[in-house]
Amino acid sequence: MKLTHVLALVVLSMGVTACQKYSQTKPAGGEGAAAAPAEGATTSGIDQDAVPSSGTSTLTPQQQALAQLQAKNTVYFEYDSSEIPQEYLAVVSANAAYLVKYPTARTRLEGNTDERGSREYNIGLGERRAQVVRRALMAQGVADAQITTVSYGEERPAVEGQDEAAYAKNRRVEFVYAQ
């Protein structure tokens, strides 16, 4: 939670140049992939490569809206389930509203699982989770071209540990935005 506040301050204090687009290129996994967050850390869901390091100190309305979404960037799932829990429908709706309002915005849905199950099964489960979120976004008017999905299975845990609390934080789909 503290990291989220720090990231919010960093995003808001960073200068950006209006009307300039940024693209991201990140490996999908394996060697050279970004490291998983440290134990207890959370990610903002905003790809930091998409945020410029220089420019003016004001944010565009789209960048402000994206900064507000950082607290709503993760959907958590029950064990061995790819059904979106009722309490996370608002997260999906908030992200859908942003994507509908800003049709040039793009998001990558990153499906993840806990470490239980085979590697192959978990890759499939992570993909099913990402796809169910994708379908929910599209049902709310988001264009197919705005969404990509990837499954990391158990390879990118948010929290290290072998207890239910750690497992629950690792069963998730994260929204990662690039502009």
SS3 23: coil
CB-neighbour burial class of residue 170 (10 A; exposed 0-12, middle 13-18, buried 19+): buried
Note whether 54 and 31 are within 8 A (CB).
no
pLDDT, position 45: 55
In this structure, what are the phi and psi dihedrals at residue 114, rounded to the nearest 5 degrees? Answer: -80, 180
For residue 153, pLDDT over 70 is answered with yes
- pTM here is 0.68
- Grade residue 39 by pLDDT with cuts at 50, 70 and 90: very low
DSSP 3-state of 132 = helix
What pLDDT shows up at residue 71?
84
How far is the CA of 172 from the CAs of 21, 60, 177, in angstroms?
A: 28, 30, 16
**29 pLDDT more than 60:** no
pLDDT of residue 57: 61
pLDDT in tens, 109-150: 999 999 999 999 999 999 999 999 999 999 999 999 999 999
Q: Looking at residue 154, what is its pLDDT? A: 95
> What is the pLDDT at residue 144?
97
Query: How many alpha carbons fall within 13 Å on the CB side of residue 124?
Result: 6
Q: Is the pLDDT of residue 12 over 70?
A: no
Domains of the chain: 60-179 (3.30.1330.60)
Residue 90 has a pLDDT of 96
- pLDDT score at 17: 30
Q: Name every residue whose Cβ is closer than 8 Å to that of residue 36 and which is 6 or more positions away in sequence.
A: 156, 157, 158
Confidence tier at 70 by pLDDT (50, 70, 90):
confident
Q: What is the mean pLDDT of the chain?
A: 78
Q: Which is nearest to 138 in space by CA: 172, 107, 112?
A: 107
The answer to whether the beta carbons of residues 111 and 28 sit under 8 Å apart is no
